[in-house]
């Protein structure tokens, strides 16, 4: 009951009515068996009365069963939607660093497979409640016929429950283990699509990934799932065996010790045989409870590992006078190098209306620096000051709203989410013309007509979104890397100066050394350290004579 109340905390009365109607339906089924048993030895006059009772009780069973199934179906879908939105909001409110650490595979599995397991619990709940009521009702009827038989039934059920508990516990252990393995499977399934080009171009890689990595994990999940369900089946078989033991003891032992007439014995036999199906149905539904329990544990675990950031929704500053990085550092583990990478300590100041280029070799920490600057990573030491005031946990979300960023691994939504102002479509259409995309894409009601574009064209759309956001600080991470030479020139010589002319601060992460001299100033990172800074003009002589040299090779 506690599990159900947790899943349907906002629908307690609906849950109560669903359970009551299920129990009424179950007790009604037991009552129908009792009426049938009475009718077998009833007179003609009694048959008429019993017939009307049978008809009314049958109608009650039909109506209550339909009502309970409908309500539980509705509760299941409501619980799924509520838990899904709870998890989605938790993902949205978690810090970027926690999201990176958890990865997408576990969250995707929770939002799909685990939630479906909980819905299946609600689908089976009417049967669970009804069959339980049938069994209780039949035992109550047996107690009316003979208290000795009820006593034997209680002892037998106790023995059966003890054996079932042992098998059920082991089955639940294997289900939990297999569910954890499925997180790895989801990650590998994504790699099957994301790495399709690489797999197609390398036969041995494809074979190793499918036959070794995927096949091994699929087989491990199969084995543990099978063990879990086999143990559930063993528990159900044990329950059925105990029931037949109960029938045998009652008919061949208790009946001899406490003689009863033929009518009562026939009643025993009928009730026993009728109880077999509800008990087997009840036992077969137990795996759904175990699976739902594991699923709910997984959902709670994912939410617990994603603490909500503080300060969400706080007022946002319209602009800034200065952003100062005072001895900031950030550390993370690089798996390829098998070492901890340290960025910083870094001391820098940014002011409105300046164009800054961030240069340095591959792996020097440029993107990590950008993520720390814009507030996605909190500095592990040092501090960031906005207009002279430190940016703390409560103010980090507001601080992030100062930035528009296009990362090298950007994601492009299919509409201008969060942007709603008069003339939005017209402004966006003008930018499409300026970005030379009007022949490919149109915008209506804030939605793009298509995203089926090249990577360079998609980056132009991401730039369009950033321009429409109209924030005081822009960051472009290797934006021009996928552009043709003509539009690359437009980006550096026209678009960036236009943003600067509007008073925007622009930080450009780039390897395009032929444009370095266009920056107001540049900063250079190597191995996480700030090794050089100066005016952009200082780089004119260094790179103008070597147009083909790239900073990655310097």
Task: Dump pLDDT digits (tens) for 271-304.
Answer: 776 777 777 677 666 667 777 777 777 777 787 8
pLDDT at 62 over 70: yes
Nearest to 130 by CA among 238, 242, 31: 31
For CATH 3.40.50.300, the residue range(s) in the chain are 323-553
Q: What whole-number distance in Å separates Cα of residue 163 and Cα of residue 25? A: 29
Question: Alpha helix locations (H) across 94-195?
Answer: 96-102, 104-109, 115-145, 147-194
CA distances from 265 to 29, 142, 273, 359 (A): 20, 11, 12, 93
Nearest to 491 by CA among 505, 480, 481: 480
pLDDT at 308 over 50: yes
Lowest mean pLDDT among 164-178, 443-457, 469-483, 501-515: 164-178
* Number of H-type helices and E-type strands within the chain: 20, 12
Q: What whole-number distance in Å separates Cα of residue 467 and Cα of residue 71? A: 50
Q: What is the CA radius of gyration of the chain?
A: 35
DSSP annotation of 552 reads G
pLDDT at 337 over 70: no
3-state SS track over 389-429 = EECCCCCHHHHHCCEEEECCCCCCCCECCCCCCCCHHHHHH
Lowest mean pLDDT among 3-7, 284-288, 548-552: 548-552
**Tokens describing residue 538:** 């200082």
If you average pLDDT over each of 109-113, 532-536, 548-552, which comes out highest?
532-536
Helix, strand, coil fractions of the chain, as percent rounded to 5: 65, 15, 20
Give the pLDDT band (50/70/90) at residue 544: low
Angle, nearest 10°, between helix axes 115-145 and 44-93?
150
DSSP annotation of 521 reads E
pLDDT of res. 554: 37
Nearest to 233 by CA among 171, 178, 182: 171
Task: Dump pLDDT digits (tens) for 418-472.
Answer: 888 888 889 999 999 988 898 899 988 888 898 888 888 999 999 999 999 899 9
Per DSSP, the three-state class of 340 is strand
Task: Dump pLDDT digits (tens) for 111-159.
Answer: 777 777 777 777 777 777 777 787 788 777 777 777 777 777 778 777 7
pLDDT of res. 472: 94
Q: What whole-number distance in Å separates Cα of residue 448 and Cα of residue 442? A: 6
If you average pLDDT over each of 261-275, 420-434, 502-516, which comes out highest?
502-516
Lowest mean pLDDT among 140-154, 311-325, 519-533: 140-154
**Tokens describing residue 27:** 């007790």
Give the pLDDT band (50/70/90) at residue 6: low
pLDDT of res. 546: 46
351: left (phi over 0), alpha (psi -120 to 50) or beta: beta
Lowest mean pLDDT among 1-10, 89-98, 353-362, 510-519: 1-10
pLDDT of res. 119: 74
CA distances from 431 to 182, 222, 427, 435 (A): 45, 53, 6, 6
pLDDT of res. 18: 84
Higher pLDDT, 240 or 296: 296
pLDDT of res. 13: 80
pLDDT of res. 498: 93
pLDDT of res. 548: 41
Tell me the pairing of strands 505-509 and 355-360.
parallel
Q: Whats the size of the chain, residue-wise?
A: 554
Give the pLDDT band (50/70/90) at residue 368: very high
Which run of H or E residues covers position 341?
strand 339-350
Distance of CA 66 to the CA centre of its chain: 33
Give the pLDDT band (50/70/90) at residue 352: very high
pLDDT at 519 over 60: yes
**27-36 mean pLDDT:** 82
Q: What whole-number distance in Å separates Cα of residue 19 and Cα of residue 16? A: 5
pLDDT at 92 over 60: yes
Q: What whole-number distance in Å separates Cα of residue 219 and Cα of residue 177? A: 13
- Superfamily of segment(s) 2-304: ABC transporter type 1, transmembrane domain (1.20.1560.10)
Percent residues over pLDDT 70 in the chain:
88
Cβ atoms of residues 422 and 492 within 8 Å: no
For CATH 1.20.1560.10, the residue range(s) in the chain are 2-304
Handedness of CA 121, 124, 126, 129 (dihedral sign): negative
Q: What whole-number distance in Å separates Cα of residue 509 and Cα of residue 369? A: 10
pLDDT of res. 99: 81
- Superfamily of segment(s) 323-553: P-loop containing nucleotide triphosphate hydrolases (3.40.50.300)
Which run of H or E residues covers position 509?
strand 505-509
Percent residues over pLDDT 90 in the chain:
22
pLDDT at 552 over 60: no
Average pLDDT over all residues of the chain = 81
pLDDT at 384 over 80: yes
pLDDT of res. 505: 95
């Amino acid at each position: 009951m506690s599990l159900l109340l947790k899943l349907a905390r906002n629908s307690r009365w609906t849950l109560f009515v669903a359970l009551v109607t299920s129990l009424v339906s179950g007790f009604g089924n037991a009552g129908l068996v009792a009426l049938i048993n009475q009718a077998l030895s009833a007179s003609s006059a009694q048959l008429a009365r019993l017939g009307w009772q049978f008809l009314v009780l049958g109608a009650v069973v039909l109506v209550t069963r339909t009502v309970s199934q409908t309500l539980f179906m509705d509760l299941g879908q409501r619980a799924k939607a509520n838990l899904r939105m709870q998890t989605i909001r938790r993902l949205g409110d978690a810090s970027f660093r926690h999201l990176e650490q958890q990865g997408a595979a576990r969250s995707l599995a929770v939002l799909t497979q685990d939630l479906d397991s909980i819905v299946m619990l609600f689908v089976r709940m009417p049967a669970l409640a009804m069959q339980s009521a049938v069994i209780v009702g039949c035992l109550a009827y047996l107690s009316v016929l003979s208290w000795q038989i009820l006593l034997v039934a209680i002892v037998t059920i106790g023995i059966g429950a003890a054996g079932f508990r042992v098998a059920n516990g082991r089955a639940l252990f294997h289900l939990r283990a297999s569910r954890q393995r499925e997180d790895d499977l989801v990650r590998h399934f994504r790699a099957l699509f994301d790495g399709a080009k690489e797999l197609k171009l390398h036969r041995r890689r494809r074979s190793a990934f499918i036959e070794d990595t995927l096949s091994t994990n699929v087989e491990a999940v199969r084995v543990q799932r099978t063990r879990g369900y086999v143990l559930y089946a063993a528990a159900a078989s044990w329950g059925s065996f105990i029931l037949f033991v109960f029938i045998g003891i009652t008919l061949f032992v208790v009946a001899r010790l406490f003689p009863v007439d033929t009518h009562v014995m026939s009643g025993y036999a009928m009730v026993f045989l009728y109880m077999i199906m509800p008990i087997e149905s009840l036992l077969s539904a137990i795996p759904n409870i175990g699976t739902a329990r594991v699923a709910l544990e997984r959902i709670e675990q994912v939410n617990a590992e994603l603490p909500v950031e503080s300060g969400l929704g706080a007022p946002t500053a319209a602009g800034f006078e200065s952003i100062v990085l005072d001895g900031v550092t950030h550390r993370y583990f690089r798996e390829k190098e098998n070492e901890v990478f340290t960025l910083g300590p870094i001391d820098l100041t940014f002011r409105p209306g300046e164009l800054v280029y961030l240069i340095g070799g591959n792996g020097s920490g440029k993107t990590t620096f950008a993520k720390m600057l814009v507030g996605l990573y909190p500095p592990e030491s040092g501090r960031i000051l906005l207009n002279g005031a430190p940016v703390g946990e409560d103010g980090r979300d507001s601080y992030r709203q100062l930035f528009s960023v296009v990362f090298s691994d950007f994601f492009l939504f299919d509409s201008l989410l969060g942007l709603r102002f008069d003339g939005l479509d017209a402004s966006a259409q003008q930018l499409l013309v300026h970005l030379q995309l009007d022949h490919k894409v149109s915008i209506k009601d804030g939605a793009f007509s298509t995203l089926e574009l090249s990577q360079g064209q998609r980056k132009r759309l991401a730039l369009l979104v950033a321009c429409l956001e109209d924030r005081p600080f822009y960051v472009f991470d290797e934006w021009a890397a996928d552009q043709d030479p003509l539009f690359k020139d437009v980006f550096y010589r026209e678009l960036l100066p236009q943003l600067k002319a509007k008073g925007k601060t622009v930080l450009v992460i780039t390897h395009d050394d032929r444009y370095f001299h266009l920056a107001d100033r540049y900063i250079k990172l190597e191995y996480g350290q700030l090794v050089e800074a100066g005016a952009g003009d200082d780089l004119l002589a260094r790179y103008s004579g070597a147009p083909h040299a790239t900073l990655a090779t310097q």
